[in-house]
Amino acid sequence: MNIKNFSTVTGLFLGVFVVGVDSFIISPLLPQIAQDFHATISQTALGVTTYALCEMIGAPLFGPLGDRFSKRKLLITGMSLFLGATLLCAIATNLATFYIYRAAAGLGAALFLPNVWAFIGSYFNGQLMNKIMGISMAGLSLSVAVGVPLGSFLSQLSNWHSAFWASAVLTVFSLILIIAIIPNTTAQNQKISYLVNFRNVFKAKNVIHTLLLDFFWMFGFYLVYTFLGSFLAEHFNFSSGKAGLVFLIYGTANFIAASTGGVIMNKLGRVKSILFNACASLSFTLALGLFSNSILGLIIFLILLAFSMGWGVTAISAYLVTLSTQNRSTLMSFNSSALYLGLTLAFIVGGLIYQGLGFWIFGIISSFSYAIVILLIKGLH
């Protein structure tokens, strides 16, 4: 990889990391924010939901813009909106404005992330594209690993405002790199109407199958992952620090996997890599449910799941950007929505059944979800 490509991927990686970490950094800050705003934790937690919903809904609405205008300009616009909203979150003085600023940050992320994947797919080719996609996806994996611990550390070092100031500083570095390094790209569909972009995406071969398998993949994973912290605290009496260490172990393994995902894809091919890791994820989520009473077994299968997730999700994104070359931004915006829809549904379903049935049932349901993924992969042609 030459210096130009290295600088490009560094800017994209840092941007993806900052946007990803913003989803997790707020979790340990909720008690402090609630106290400052004289609200309940449930009320302040709506800031998390607001961010996710705006990213999920905003991504498809912004998607066609990336197919009509320069992706570089949209990356800069999305990151600038995210930066401004993050700075406003840092100085928010009441809950209502905090919600508004979190919504704006979500919209900035919705404009930025899909255009990262679309830019990679249009600017790089072949095995290099697989490699760059893996490295950039590793930014999300790293955000999972360090988001919650980073939020806890910064809030203890000063207060909850410091977490948003730190996020803003990282965003500035990413924005500078993007402005300085990312080349301008020529839009391919300036004469195509806004709605035609959606029609073209869903008429493209294998798109619906791939978006569906991405949704079920995310649902299966987040059903297990979202309630893992609660299970560790209740079943093994883990403190937040010990539980955070488990998440850090997972995130580190997932980061390593995503970073090397391009190598795996280059050896197996994208579709075979998706299939292999879907089968592995089915086995590992089932094992998590069956061996949930053993902390050693739980950690071992969680690490294995981290690798199958890192390799599999990277392969899905790399495959997806090849399916509609004229409408990559629109397509990848729906990919972002599939991710957040899977997360949201997993949270709802898990919340309804966790207290009554326990953690083990999540492993069973997740394995069925991955079985659907495998069937959908078999339908790719």
pLDDT at 381: 61
Q: How far apart are alpha carbons 255 and 261 in whole angstroms?
A: 10
d(CA 114, CA 289): 33
Is the Cα torsion angle 171, 103, 224, 319 positive or negative in sign? negative
Which CA distances in Å does 165 have to 62, 92, 141, 156, 160?
27, 12, 22, 14, 9
Nearest to 201 by CA among 67, 15, 78, 331: 331
| Block residue for tokens 């898990």 | 350
Both tokens of 89, joined, read: 């979150």
> Same structural domain for residues 162 and 222?
no
* Phi, psi (deg, nearest 5) at residue 301: -75, -25
Query: Of 154, 186, 218, which marks where a domain is finished?
Result: 186
Calpha distance 60→38 (Å, rounded): 35
**Structure confidence at residue 348 (pLDDT):** 81
Work out the widest C-alpha separation in the chain, in whole angstroms.
60
Of 53, 124, 59, nearest to 334 by C-alpha is: 59
The CATH number given to whatever domain includes residue 257 is 1.20.1250.20
Asked if residue 160 and residue 236 are part of one domain, the reply reads: no
Angstrom distance (rounded) from CA 78 to CA 113: 8
| Spatial CA neighbour of 317 closest among 106, 59, 121, 75 | 121
In a domain, 191, yes or no: no
Q: What's the token pair of residue 217?
A: 């993949």
Answer yes or no: is 195 within a domain.
no
Q: Which domain holds residue 361?
A: 203-381
Assigned token pair, 278: 């879907």
40 neighbors 137 (Cβ within 8 angstroms):
no
Q: What is the pTM of this model?
A: 0.80
pLDDT value for 192: 63
254 and 175, same structural domain? no
In a domain, 194, yes or no: no
- pLDDT number for residue 83: 96
Q: Which helix (H) or strand (E) holds 155?
A: helix 126-157
- Residue 24 pLDDT: 72
Same domain, 101 and 243: no
Q: Look at residue 297 and tell me if it is in a domain.
A: yes
Domain boundary among 128, 151, 186: 186
Task: Give, in order, the Cα–Cα distances in Å from 178 to each of 24, 183, 225.
Answer: 23, 9, 32
pLDDT at position 132 is 82
Question: Considering 156, 186, 216, which residue would you say is the last residue of a domain?
Answer: 186
Q: Rounded to the nearest 5 degrees, what angle is found at the Cα of 189, between the Cα atoms of 186 and 190?
A: 80
Name the CA dihedral angle for 235, 240, 242, 247, rounded to a multiple of 10 degrees: 90
One domain, residues 241 and 270: yes
How many C-beta atoms lie closer than 10 Å to residue 111's C-beta?
28
pLDDT at residue 189, as a whole number: 54
Tell me 27's DSSP state: G
Domain count of the chain? 2
Consecutive 10-residue averages of pLDDT for the chain (381 residues):
76 87 75 84 76 84 79 91 94 91 92 85 79 80 75 73 88 90 68 73 86 93 82 81 80 85 84 94 93 90 93 88 80 84 83 79 93 90 61
